[in-house]
Structure formats: structure tokens, C-alpha cells
Amino acid sequence: MKITNSCFQDSQIKRSLRYSIYDGTAWAAMVGLTQDYVPAFALALRATVGEVALLSSIPNLVSAIAQLGTPKLVYNLGSRKRLVLIVVFLQATLWAPVLLIPHLVPDHRVWWLITLFTLSTLCGNLANPAWGSWISQLVPQDFRGRYFGFRTQILVLTTLSFTILGGVALKFFSANIFLGFALLFGGAMAARFSSWHFMRKTYEPPLPNKQVKFKLSHFLKEPRFANLRKYMVFAAAINFTVNLAAPFFAVYMLRELGFNYVTYMVVNGCATLGNFLSLSFWGNHADRAGNRRVLMLTSLLIPLVPLLWAINHNLYFLVPVQLLSGFAWAGFNLASANFLYDATAAEERVACISCFNVANGLALSLGAFIGGYLATHLPPLHNSSILTLFVLSGLLRALVAVVMLRFKEVRHIKEIKPGKSTSSKWHIPIKQKLENPILSSVSKLDTFLKDVSLAFGDTYSIKPSNLERSPPCY
């Protein structure tokens, strides 16, 4: 009976790893149609610089505070999956009133957008801690870098494709721009419902039997959380310095530089492309050298991005800058998520991820709020106060990277000889020759899933791991 149950569970897990990729792909389509185009939509509604700042600040603030209640919601519902399905369904539904704002709302349109986008962001962020705990329990620790690296590569390719599609659609409907935005947000709603469908089919392992009463006061005081606290302070500080400037790149491109939507799409798409091209590299490097090392390397590259933006605004200069940005943020985001999973025990993971997201949400909110003030009050650089803000953001990022990277790697890193794997069960061969990354990623999907399938032999049984939207690429 035990063998039968183990085989059945392994089959569920294999299917769930597939569904997680399908769910993520649909989510990425939503992101591609909205992430860069919600600020553009606000500007089309004649939003001021201050209102653009609030469009970033308020959703992050509300989401940060609300996530303190995620562990209790999971406990009351008795399931992480149940909570995720409820809030994801609501998030998908909320895109309908957003696309109707220009057609049904005569006044205060930007404030309606801020309100609805806040609710949508709130729903998405409420799902994050529960989803993070859920998926991390499905993927073994030594395999996370490669699995999430591959999964994220597919997601980034999808995001890039739909970002391009969104820019082309807005260009095509330039004579009736709000119809173009309606198509984008309608597509985002359909994509999120598709994501919800695949989440319904994904297996949720049982919650850890050990019930832990997690208190914020204990987290702030107990020595066993000291390393995790240092990491959270570092991540929050980086996000604060980034979001001082990040919300205003759209303002700078569309208003001050006068970019059309296709050029705007190209610049943003280059960051996504750089992200995609480097994910396999960072995933394998994180597994081999550790997540802290990746965070250290990428946190030294991230400050360069806004500084380079202040040097030259020529499109041919900005394209390689954005490719560098995507390269750096790909490693940072991947290693950041994996470090958090490694540093938290399974029974405390939902609460720890909630604390992490609260800290980051508050930092992002404060950064956008202060940035909105500074964007109109700093002395101009090349006739633009926003450029001065970019320089300030870059210098503060560098300061954080040098001063605050004081946490330690929590995972044992094995020495790996070239061509050999850390685990024979989870090894995915790395081809020596260079391939077209887009065609290679698509063609390797079936091979990768077969490797995942082979990794779950009858003798393998999943146990709760003892160790288990990101800022924009600017």
C-alpha cells in the first residue's frame, strides 16, 4: 500500500510540475500585457507625475500591510491552494472594470485606475506567500535553481512576446488608443483566468503537521532568524533605492523623450530579452556557487543601469543598457527567491514569505512616494529632474550593495567538477555548444519535463522541505 501511494503521489507531482509551467506561462502573458502598459495607460488618462508615483506607491503599501494576514487566512482555510484560487480569480475579474474606465467614468479617471489597480495588486500579492510555500514543497532543494531557472525562462519569453504584441496593438490602434488598451487588459483577464485553471489542476502537498505559532516579535528578536533578517533588510533597501526611480522611466520615455509606443515597447522588451537569455546561466550558477554569490554579483551591476540612462537617451545606446539590466535582474530575482526558500523551514515558510513581502512592499511604496516628490523638486540634469533622480537612485543602489550584503549562504555548496552534477537524480546536461536560445528553450521543454519525470522514481517520496512581480528592470 505504501508503494502504491508513493507512486500515485509521484505521478501527481510530475503532472503538477507541468501545470506550474503552464500556469506561469499564462500569468506571464498577463504581465506582458500590463506591466509596462498600466503606467502608459495612466499617462494616456493625463496622470501627473505625482499620480504616477501613487500608482506605484499605494498598491505596494496596501499589499504589504494586507500580507500580514496571509498566514492566518491559510490557517483558517486549511489550504494554501484554496486561498490562491480565490484571490487569483478576483484578480482576473478586476481587469474588466479597468478596461472600462475611459468609456464609463467621466471624472477622476486616474484615481479610479489607482483604486482598481490597487485591488488587483492586492489580490495578486496575497497569493504570493501561499503559492511560494506550496510550490517550494513540490520542488526539491537541490533542483530549485535549475527548475525555476527553466520555468522562469519560459515565463520571460512569454512576457517578451506579449510585451511586443501589446506595443504593436497600441501602435495599430493609435487613432483610438483606449480601444487598444481595452484589448490589452481584456487579454490580460483571459490569461489570468487560464492561469487560474491550471492552478486548480495542480496538486497541493499536505501542510506540515507541525503547527507553529509565528509571531512577528519572535521573528524580530530570536537569534535563529538573524541571518534571514539581514537578508530581508538588504532586499528591502535595494527595492527602496530602485523604486525611487523605476515608476518614472515611463514618464521620461513617453513624455520627456516623446517615444511612441513601439519604441517604448522595444526599450522595455530589451530588458525582458536580456532576462530571458541569461536565466539558464544564473540558474546553474546559483546551484553551483550559491544564491548569495549571485546576489552579490548582480547587486553590483544593478546600480549601473540608471547611471547609464543619465548619460545618453539615444535608442541605440539604451538597447544594450536594457539588455544589461535584464541580465542583472534575472540573476537577482532568481537568487533572491531561492535564498528565501532555502532560509525558511517548511512550517514557517508562509509566515516568513509574508514578512519578506511586507518589508519589500513597504520599501517599494516608500521609494515611489519619495521619488514622486523628488522628481519635481531635484535640480535638473540635462533639463530633466527625472535624470537627476536616476543618478541618485544608482548611487544609493551602489551604497546598499557595498554596505548591506552581510548575510551568509544557508545552503551547503558542493564542489563540482566540469561536466559533473551535484546529484545524479537531478542532473540536466549542459550542452557545450551555443544554441539559439529561443528555439533551444522551446525545443527543450519536452526533454526537460522527461528529465523531471525520470527524477521521480518509485523510491522517491516527496517530504516537506526543511529549507524552503520583483521590481521593474531599471
Q: Three cell numbers at 411?
A: 545552503
**Domain presence at residue 441:** yes
Helix, strand and coil in the chain, % to nearest 5: 75, 0, 25
Task: Reply yes or no on whether the pLDDT at 8 is more than 60.
Answer: no
Q: Three cell numbers at 73?
A: 487566512
Task: Reply yes or no on whether the pLDDT at 312 is more than 70.
Answer: yes
pLDDT, tens only, 37-93: 999 999 999 999 999 999 999 998 998 888 777 777 887 888 889 999 999 999 999
Task: Reply yes or no on whether the pLDDT at 438 is more than 80.
Answer: no
Distance CA 374, CA 380 (A): 11
pLDDT band per the 50, 70, 90 thresholds, residue 462: very low
**Domain presence at residue 462:** no
Distance CA 340, CA 250 (A): 30
Distance CA 122, CA 110 (A): 18
pLDDT, tens only, 88-134: 999 999 999 999 999 998 889 999 999 999 999 999 888 887 888 88
pTM of this prediction? 0.79
Distance CA 180, CA 443 (A): 33
Domain that holds residue 228: 2-205+214-410+427-450
The answer to whether the CB of 37 falls within 8 A of the CB of 184 is: yes
Closest C-alpha to 474, from 417, 389, 403: 389
CB atoms under 10 Å from CB of 316, counted, come to 7
Closest C-alpha to 350, from 16, 62, 79: 79
Mean pLDDT value of segment 327-335: 91
**Domain presence at residue 343:** yes
Q: What is the pLDDT of residue 345?
A: 78
Contacting residues for 427 by C-beta, under 8 A, at least 6 apart: 421
pLDDT band per the 50, 70, 90 thresholds, residue 218: low
The answer to whether the CB of 339 falls within 8 A of the CB of 238 is: no
The answer to whether the CB of 395 falls within 8 A of the CB of 324 is: no
**Domain presence at residue 229:** yes
**Domain presence at residue 400:** yes
Mean pLDDT value of segment 384-391: 95
Element (H, E) at 441: helix 437-455
Contacting residues for 109 by C-beta, under 8 A, at least 6 apart: 45, 101, 102
Task: Reply yes or no on whether the pLDDT at 418 is more than 80.
Answer: no
Q: What is the pLDDT of residue 78?
A: 81
What does the DSSP assignment read for 112-165? Answer: HHHHHHHHHHHHHHHHHHHHHHHHHHHS-GGGHHHHHHHHHHHHHHHHHHHHHH
Mean pLDDT value of segment 386-401: 96
Task: Reply yes or no on whether the pLDDT at 464 is more than 60.
Answer: no
Angle between helices 144-172 and 37-44 (to 10 degrees): 30
> What is the percent of the chain where pLDDT is above 90?
51
pLDDT: which is higher, 423 or 193: 193
Contacting residues for 85 by C-beta, under 8 A, at least 6 apart: 196, 199, 200
**Domain presence at residue 416:** no
pLDDT: which is higher, 406 or 114: 114
| Domain at 369, CATH number | 1.20.1250.20
pLDDT: which is higher, 284 or 270: 270
**Domain presence at residue 42:** yes
Kindly tell me the burial class for residue 280, based on how many C-beta atoms sit within 10 Å of its own C-beta (0-12, 13-18, 19 or more): buried
Mean pLDDT value of segment 193-207: 90
Mean pLDDT value of segment 280-286: 83
pLDDT, tens only, 153-187: 798 889 999 999 999 999 999 999 999 999 999 99
pLDDT, tens only, 342-360: 888 777 777 787 788 889 9
Phi-psi region of 290 (alpha: psi -120 to 50; beta: other; left: phi over 0): left
pLDDT band per the 50, 70, 90 thresholds, residue 9: low
The overall average pLDDT reported for the chain is 82
Mean pLDDT value of segment 276-300: 87
Task: Reply yes or no on whether the pLDDT at 465 is more than 60.
Answer: no
Q: What is the pLDDT of residue 146?
A: 74
The answer to whether the CB of 265 falls within 8 A of the CB of 285 is: no
Distance CA 98, CA 182 (A): 8
Q: What is the pLDDT of residue 419?
A: 47
Closest C-alpha to 229, from 410, 471, 395, 64: 410
Distance CA 39, CA 35 (A): 8
Q: Could you give phi then psi for residue 244, rounded to 5 degrees?
A: -60, -35
Q: How many domains does the chain have?
A: 1
Task: Reply yes or no on whether the pLDDT at 32 is more than 80.
Answer: yes
- How many angstroms from the chain centroid is the CA of residue 282? 15
